[in-house]
Amino acid sequence: MKLMKRLSMFALVGILGLSTFSCLNNDDSDFVNYGFFTTEGVTVNQDSIKPINEITNIKVNYSKTNSCQEFIQFSLLKGNQDDSIQYIGVLGSQGSGQSCLPSTSIESKNLKFKPKKAGKYTLKFWTGKDSENKDTFNDSIVLDIKEK
């Protein structure tokens, strides 16, 4: 009998707990969308290419289409850091619900490239989608990384 009383008490507390539980409806907050910015150009001074385990700065120009878009980071899209051909995208964000002004602008960031082995590296940058919705990588640069 004591067991039945305890079980019924737990059941009653559980039902009361579930009936007073409230789902908060705060869908009014902004959501963040992520995507890649179109690369507009890539430059590096050949005299500033560093040997292995040192950072070479590569200037990457990319386009933004409105005032709410923000740069996040460079992202390796294909391959790994030791591959001789690397596909890189400029990752950005945009919040929804913001009052964004449409404006196309070109901005620049430095990609810090630090290879671990010597050799030629081809860096290809994401430039958008083609008519078949496939990624395109047109802006590329070749770096000849030497031993120390």
**How far apart are alpha carbons 62 and 70 in whole angstroms?**
11
**How far apart are alpha carbons 133 and 114 in whole angstroms?**
32
Report yes or no on 23 lying in a domain. Answer: no
**How far apart are alpha carbons 77 and 72 in whole angstroms?**
15
Report yes or no on 37 lying in a domain. Answer: yes
Residue 69's nearest CA partner among 41, 111, 104, 39 is 104
Report yes or no on 130 lying in a domain. Answer: yes
Q: In terms of residue numbers, what domain contains 74?
A: 32-145
Report yes or no on 136 lying in a domain. Answer: yes
Task: Please give the chain's pLDDT, 148 residues, in tens.
Answer: 666 666 566 565 566 555 555 555 555 556 789 999 999 999 998 889 999 999 999 999 999 999 889 999 999 998 777 789 999 999 999 987 668 888 899 999 999 999 999 999 999 999 999 999 999 998 899 999 999 8
The single-letter DSSP state of residue 48 is G
How many domains are there within the chain?
Answer: 1
Report yes or no on 16 lying in a domain. Answer: no
